[in-house]
Chain A
């Protein structure tokens, strides 16, 4: 079941707002504080990856099934960002979730992960 879709221009200024919304969604599905904070970190890292990839806008879809599924996508020119920062973001995402999927097809980047309910 789709809970919410957010579409916004991607910039560092909007991160806090997105984190607050993510916190609200986590509250809605009944996450404890630690899971909610982890989810916020994952959303932030995913958006940073999109930013590094040159994306100007981003979309986040929150869906609820047996887990809270988060799909984050953005379109950009695929410019190379800070390689080391990207590596750390990906490693951190992998440390916090077990089902991370990342694809880059042309200018479209998609990152998805789930948090168990």
Chain B
């Protein structure tokens, strides 16, 4: 049946079987357009669903008597729905991990910016905020392949979900604590006191100086020295 005839018949009968036939016939447009918008932080499957619903609504709204082809009519309708969806929600995990983390960071910063200013940020603004280059922001926005969180990871050792760093990973926390405690052994008592005030109790340099009865300059100098000692100690223990 010709396109025009098909729509005329559907308009006259509102037969659901006919509507399903039309939707089935043009579902490839939804798929094609969903693919074109992949890489903005939303999974293809979600975009395909949004596009399919837009197609379904479009079939009811299309007027074949206006002389426009259905594909010409439905493309901007679907594109519009997809763009609305982006404004409502966007989240994506990309591999490899570094790209995924960077993309996540860029997305979070963009959301925060949007909330605070009411407008979408430029890559330059994001780069300044995140202290990374504009190129990194732009590259992080570029799709590297969209995957499901449940898809097995490339080494087959788990799912993509397992690769997402847990900000509250107990093992990592224990490891960090152990490394810091071990590194602290290279410090003398006064140095440990300074670390305790500055990084344990989170006192300012001036407050720390007051507690120890020394000048703020002294604390500043000691802090630099201590951090260098700790860094060196951690480097050595990692090399071992």
Residues of A within 8 A of B (CB): 16, 19-20, 23-24, 26-27, 30-37, 41, 44-45, 84-85, 87-88, 90-92, 94-96
Is residue B186 contacting chain A, with contact meaning CB distance below 8 A? no
User: Are B124 and A27 in touch, CB under 8 angstroms?
Assistant: yes
**B86 nearest CB neighbor, chain A only:** A34
**A36 / chain B contacts, CB cutoff of 8 Å:** 123, 138, 141
Residues B130-146 near A (CB distance < 8 A):
134-135, 137-139, 141-142
Q: Is the CB of B71 within 8 A of A30?
A: no
A30 to chain B: closest CB distance in Å? Answer: 5
- Identity of the chain B residue whose Cβ is nearest the Cβ of A37 in the assembled complex: B40
B124's partner among A30, A37, A44, A90 (CB-CB below 8 A) is A30
Q: Is residue B148 contacting chain A, with contact meaning CB distance below 8 A?
A: no
Inter-chain CA distance A30–B123, complex, in Å, is 7
Does residue B100 face the partner (Cβ distance < 8 Å to A)?
Answer: no
How far, in whole Å, are A91 and B138 apart by their CA atoms in the complex? 27
- Per the bound structure, the CA–CA distance linking A26 and B123 in Å amounts to 9
B69-87 interface (Cβ within 8 A of A): 69, 71-72, 75-76, 79-80, 83, 86
Measuring CB to CB, which residues of chain B are less than 8 angstroms from any residue of chain A? 29, 32-33, 36-37, 39-40, 69, 71-72, 75-76, 79-80, 83, 86, 110, 119-124, 126, 134-135, 137-139, 141-142
**By the criterion CB–CB under 8 Å, are B122 and A88 in contact?**
no
Cβ contact within 8 Å between B122 and A30:
yes
Q: How far is the CA of A27 from the CA of B133 in the complex (A)?
A: 11
> Which chain B residues border A96 with CB–CB below 8 Å?
79
> Given the complex, which residues of B lie within 8 Å of A94, measured CB to CB?
76
Bound form: Cα–Cα A84–B76 in Å:
15
Complex contacts, B36 vs chain A, CB 8 Å: 41, 44-45, 92
Q: Please determine whether B40 and A91 come into contact, CB atoms closer than 8 angstroms.
A: no
Q: Can you list 15 pairs linking A and B with CB atoms under 8 Å apart?
A: A19-B142, A24-B138, A26-B123, A27-B124, A30-B122, A33-B123, A34-B86, A36-B123, A87-B71, A88-B71, A91-B71, A91-B72, A91-B75, A92-B36, A95-B76
Across the interface, A92 reaches (CB within 8 A) one of B33, B124, B135, B139, namely B33
Cα–Cα, bound, A92→B73 (Å): 10
Contacts of A27 in B (CB 8 A): 122-124, 134, 137-138
Contacts of B120 in A (CB 8 A): 32-35
Neighbouring A residues of B139 by C-beta, 8 Å: 20
* Complexed CA–CA distance, A32 and B71 (Å): 29
What is the CB-to-nearest-CB distance from A42 to chain B, in angstroms, rounded to a whole number? 10
* B32 CB contacts on chain A under 8 angstroms: 85, 88
A20-B138 contact given A88-B29, A95-B75, CB 8 Å threshold: yes
- Nearest-neighbour CB distance to chain A for B169, whole angstroms, equals 30
Check A95 against B138 for contact (C-beta < 8 Å): no
